[in-house]
Structure 1
């Protein structure tokens, strides 16, 4: 990761900011991000959340543990983008969610144009394309200046890493631009996605249960 270019401000992982960024990229109304306040199985059983995607944020120092886990499967038509730049993680995870979940984008929106251009490219080529997309980068930087925390300066390394989980063709897929391909984690549906993804998230949290920098937001119908 050290050789990645540092060009993008970091975006705060709160539902209001992520919803605004999604709308600026082209997500139609009717969807919004919501905080997942507990990833404990008992909590989710009591208050189930129906969602088409989940963004999970965790400290970057656990990436080594994550990179050693799992095996890539045939993505079966999923659109996957290799990590372009440190700081772009929130937008990349959001793109992975919106591109692969069962949602609608405004035709001609910035993300719709990017996805059309990216379809025939390799994951690495898509990362390079994203890095030069001025419209997406402008939306990213506008939202990076919102939220409750002060954004890092361009070129400053964030200590948080974003991954996306989506339900596609009956499977739970993890999309992490630092990995070589999407990972499949077994069967799921929109009704059980948050609960199913929570098993993966809790494994990450177990590496340092006293660390408070873990968070998750789910893309839900409003």
Structure 2
């Protein structure tokens, strides 16, 4: 019967990327652990000019939607990733939330990056999007930070998915498996070099969606693009979430919680704890559930 140390060992040594909950508090703790202390993820509830009034500058948007094949007739003009845009392809299943945050962080010049993130950004600066994606996939530091929020059931499911992928073609598994994270997808939007970019890790290159200055008004260029993404779905589709990655200012960081209670609870292995507790009680002759 596994105990607490076994569970932590399982998280730290799992070789793949596990599904984690798309919750701002969890993303915020990942940012702290990864080494981006002056950033914060918040959830947005409207797509109008009110988002320009946020107290902290928004350095990127993350749009979460149900993944689907794009059947629209309009084809994007593919161009090579410009030098002033950092963009990585998604080469690992279940990593798209962390990938979206990295795609934003590495395009925001004024954010503080810890040593490991700074080294990763510098090392990948001259690489192509696929090679950058491979570097992120193989980053033990990022994988362990990401997987620290994986539940035991999700780790075991990830193992089954890996076995499954060896038996089936990737395209078939993606199209027919509604329970895998590939059914949901994160798309990032960032300003860079006077333009606004859509960074979709499943596309080969970034997509330039318009021009904008360096102020927060770049969001007015990004919002119609998000609305266009939503319009591709039927009216009864409600699985959308819009997150903003903000850069905290000196004034607001004093009011910022340094820990996120929900994230701490998710990390705690309650099942392993209760198993251990019941085992200790049984050793003392106490039967749980009996008066």
Equivalent position to 2:194, from 154, 157, 170: 170
- TM-score of the superposed pair, with normalisation by structure 1: 0.82
Contact 1:17 1:143 in 2 (8 A): yes
The unaligned stretches of length 5 or more in structure 1 are 1-5
User: Who is 2:120 aligned against?
Assistant: 114
Secondary structure of 1:192 counterpart: helix
Contact 1:72 1:184 in 2 (8 A): no
Contact 2:65/2:185 (8 A) holds in 1: yes
Q: Is the 8 A contact 1:52 1:193 kept in 2?
A: no
1:3 equivalent in structure 2: none
In structure 1, how many angstroms separate the alpha carbons of the residues matched to 2:23 and 2:232? 23
Change (3 A) 1:122 1:47: closer
Q: Is 1:221 the counterpart of 2:225 in the alignment?
A: no
User: SS at the partner of 2:58?
Assistant: coil
Contact 2:187 2:198 (8 Å CA) reproduced: yes
Task: Quote the residue 1:38 is aligned against.
Answer: 46
> Which residue pairs with 1:212 in the alignment?
238
**CA 12–113 in structure 1, closer or farther in 2 if over 3 Å, else same:** same
- 1:81 corresponds to 2:88: yes
Q: Which residue number corresponds to residue 3 of structure 2?
A: none
Match of 2:34 among 25, 36, 40: 25
Residue 97 of structure 2: which of 90, 101, 114 is its match?
90
The structure where helix makes up a greater share of residues is: 2
2:133 corresponds to? 127
Report the alpha carbon displacement of residue 96 of structure 1 after superposing the two structures with TM. 0.3
- Does the CA contact (< 8 Å) of 1:20 and 1:143 recur in 2? no
CA distance in 2, matches of 1:212, 1:94: 23
Q: What is the aligned-residue RMSD (CA, Å)?
A: 2.5
**Higher RCO (CA < 8 A, seq sep 6+):** 1
Measure, in 2, the Cα distance between the counterparts of 1:67 and 1:167: 26
TM-score (norm 2): 0.64
- What's 2:218 paired with? 193
Q: Which of the pair has more CA radius of gyration?
A: 2
Deviation at 1:20? 1.6
With over 3 angstroms needed to count, the CA separation of the structure-2 counterparts of 1:106 and 1:76, relative to structure 1, is: closer
Superposed CA offset, 1:67-126 (max 9, x none): 9642234523212111111101111111100001233233413x2222222223222122
Which residue is equivalent to 1:51?
58
Could you say what secondary structure the match of 2:106 adopts? helix
